[in-house]
Structure 1
Amino acid sequence: MNLMGRLLPFRSLRARLAALLIVAAAIPILLTGYISYRWIYIVQTEKIYRDWMDKVERDSTELEQKLDELGRVSQLLDVEGGIGREVVQYIESGDPYERSVLYRNISESTANVNFSNPALGAMFFYVPGLDEPILFPNTPGKISFDLDSLPLFYRQKDFTYYGPYPSLNQDASGEPVFALLRKLDYGQGRFLYAYVETKVTGLETIFASSGDPSLTGHSPVYHVLTNPSGQTAFSNLPDDTPIGQTFRVSDRNYQIFRASGQHGWTLYQLIPSPVYNHEMNRWLSQFALLASISLIAGIALAWLIWRMVYHPIRIINREISRFRYNQMPNPALATGLAEFDRILDNFQSMSLRIAELISDVEEKEKRRGRLELEKLLVQINPHFLHNTLNTIQWLARIQGQTNIAELVSIFTRVLHYNLGKKSIIVTVREEVEAVRDYIDLQNIRYDHSFNVRLKVDPAAEEVPIPRFILQPLVENALYHGFDNDEGGKIEVVIAIESSSSGLRRLLLRVTDNGKGIPAEKLAKMMGEDDDRLRRSGLGIGLRYVRKMLSVYYDSDAEWSIESEDGGGTSIAIRLPVVLKGGEFFDPGADRG
């Protein structure tokens, strides 16, 4: 968890303040931007879209009406009840007078049609096979007519629509027109054609050679007209869009609006995307400017807040650094901010408490030193004593006194463990070996075997404990638990206990079936030291054990004595498995 906390981003206060203030500044900007964007998109964009759609639909309706007008005019030229009947009579008549009368009547009729339809362009009859196939044109001058060169728009039964292309009327100066060529059958497989043009009056901007810039200000709007097969009939796009090819254009470059006629042709209106999105782009640039200013203001506020917070933090950090080297109380300081002043006050209270704890630890160390001094006082020059005992041991072996040699050997080991050069912290295994040596020594001394059983959990053998805390308990049981040596039993149990919470503790229990301890004496043993107990020898070992436990375990050690008059005694000690009061193995500790 600690490692993950160090790996998280924005670990410094400055970075987190900056991030939070930037987020706080960005949220209203984003909300305002979203609302305004939605308003522009829904209200403005959709309105603009609808306006453009209305325009292309109006243009397509206008073009549809002009094409319908061609059909209506062609009805006046029909061979059944129209001018076409007289044209057929004119073609078939061989009488010059009749032909002149018909010619005059036909000319007057075509003039009336032309006068009543001012949007008409060229109009005439076309009769293939005649020396002069063009009859009764409504325009002066010669008409150059090639049916195969006309751009086909679409066909509908006997009606063939062409366009847009320049008018055949030479006086029209290349004005674009749409034309209808209507096939008129007058019997016996004979037929002629009525050709009628209509001008694109009102649609000039659509069929201009380049787009109309008046609609968007500076950039033109382009138009494309396709026939029912989807092939291009007209285009003023700057891109190469061949006439007669299937029309395709990328939606990414243009905003496209379309409307279709009732006969399947389609009129496209194309606006370059930058022009169409001009208002939206201008709003985005203004919004970006406002957002940048707001973010800069948020960063500036973060810097000002950091400056306001940094000074108190520096004072607190300086006070903590000072406390590392000097635990003496410091006069009360002030940061200028109530929250940081409370933190500083709490730290100063904590530092006073830490100083008190350090003083307690120093006092305990002094008590430990005094305890070691007391033990040193009872060590009567162990070097001299060991050398003397070794001399006695070798003399006994030389003279064949094996019992004396064994006694001295065991006694030497006991003295070496208790008084020799050995760390004050030993393992349970070493402590148990010393107890066994002590029991062997007592067996030789009293010339019989004490009934002492040792039950040691293998898992507890390497647990570190203070030296010489088990032997005094066994010694008290041997000397003070029995009035005679017969029938006396002592059981030493060493094991690892586990509580329901999973805490592991070391159990040391010494139990005897001796005469027990009277309640009054037991209460004194459990309480303060008593001079009479020490003089009797009963309290010396327990006093030493209690002091050792206090020095090395403090309140973590638990010990209890259970005894009944005449019912034996049980002394139990429970210790933490991990020793906190000193170095475990100190080979440099010289005790002798």
Structure 2
Amino acid sequence: MTLKRRIFLIFLFSSLVPFLSIFIISYYTIDSIFDNKIQSGIQSNLRQVELSLGNSISSLNHISQQLAYGGTIGKQLDEVLQQSEDPFQRIKSRDQLKSELNMVTFTNPSIGLTMYYFQNDATIQFENFPIKHNFSPESLPLLAKYYGITYYGPHVSMNQFDDQIVLSALRKVELPDRDDVYVYIESGFSLTQSILDNDQYGGALSHLILDGNGRIAYSEVPTIFAVGAKFPNFSKKEGTGLYQGYHWFKQTSNQDWSVVSVISQVDYGKEKKQWLLQMLFISIFFLCVTVVLAWLLWKMVYRPLNIFHREIKGMSQNRLKTNHTEQSKIPEFDYLLSKFSEMKVQIWNLFKEVELKEKNRVDLEVEKLLYQINPHFLMNTLDTVHWLAVMNGQNEIDRLVQSLNKLLYYNLGKLGQISTIEEEIDALKQYLVLQQIRYDFQFDVRIDVDENVLKVPVPRFILQPLVENSLYHGLSDDGYIQVNVQLDKDIQISIHDNGSGMSEETIRELLNNRTLEQKKVGMGIGMNYVKRMLEARYEDKAKLEIMSEIGKGTSVLLTLPITVEETRP
């Protein structure tokens, strides 16, 4: 997976997981709060409607008692009905009764239409408003009936000039001489309508009114809850439920009738949906911000990575040294880029150093080959001379040839092959034997080697050139050469002679001028070879020093680090 995808996924995960967790917890919490709020609001509204309707019914009951026989107006009605002989007195009594009725209705704003209904002849008298021609108590929706009074409604008013929804009551007057007289009273102008319209949910609530048996006496949702039908799952207890996509809440009055508030599921969840939409918009905005931040972070990382990519690609394609490095304008990356630039410089320097060392190694190989003129032929020839000397009894020649053969075999070995101090000392002794036979002179060469250092690996052919240098540059008839090899923290090799010594200029030429040395020592590879061999083998860890004083002698000091022993082929 690419870094870009990982950054986006990590950002999305780290941002969305906490947000989704909070959203889920908030959703269930707020959903519960909304449900409690909506239910509490609807039930509060329902109790208010039930209380208001109950007060209206109580008011109808109270007024009807005044208009019945037990009240003052009821007694006046009985007197008016009994006065049939004197027309004037009868008219006067009727006018007085109407005046009393008007006074009662005027002083009670909660009362609307009022009249007396005579059941036997279906006539109406003493009405305070004109009556609609189709008035019939039997056609009104029955709400409740008890204690000689019947309640109707809500229904359209029987007032000819009023089509408002009202409650009404029909109470028997109980006159001594007649039992078919009833007083009919309706609730006041628009009172019932205003009670039912008291809806804090913007018209989303509808109401039903049930009688004591659960029959629907009034319905604002007739398509679902028809008037006259039985309310589903009716019980006289308060409760809530869901029916055909409507939530309903029921409140039962002390008078045994019930008020039901109904609301559709759409309106019920409208407020929650609005909240969910708001949360959705916030989520989308939050997601967009997260994606933008992830993109910006990617750009901040991607641009420095591109710079690194170009630098590494350019470094792999060529070896041209360059100090130019692009800037990412981010301190941390710029610091890394500067370090990378420094590393490039070091790598180029290392390349040059390796190339130089390789060139030196090749030069050494060529130089070694200059002295390996047909070595196998030469050694085979020497071997033939050896056997001729043996056959002719030439012991001195035989000794010379054997020493020369051993020395050549050792010195002409593969360049760079690892040897030991012991082998170097043995080759040095063979060289001294040749020199002694050649010059017929017994050289005083003293060799002192620490036994602990004999098996330590060292480069091949480093002692002979140093001793050869002492032989040619400083050894006189009474002179000597002291060779010491000691083991300390490093291998300490010293070659000291008591010869004529050398000047500083001669020392420099021995160390650095191959032409002069080769001219003086002939076939000897010389001091310069030893110096270069040590550099190739130990780099700057080995040390070669020459100390000399004219007339007193010369000392060559060689310090070699101890390395891990290598296996010789």
TM-score interval, smaller chain = 0.3 to 0.5
- Higher radius of gyration, 1 or 2: 2
> Could you tell me the TM-score, scaled by structure 1's length?
0.44
User: TM-score under structure 2 normalisation?
Assistant: 0.45
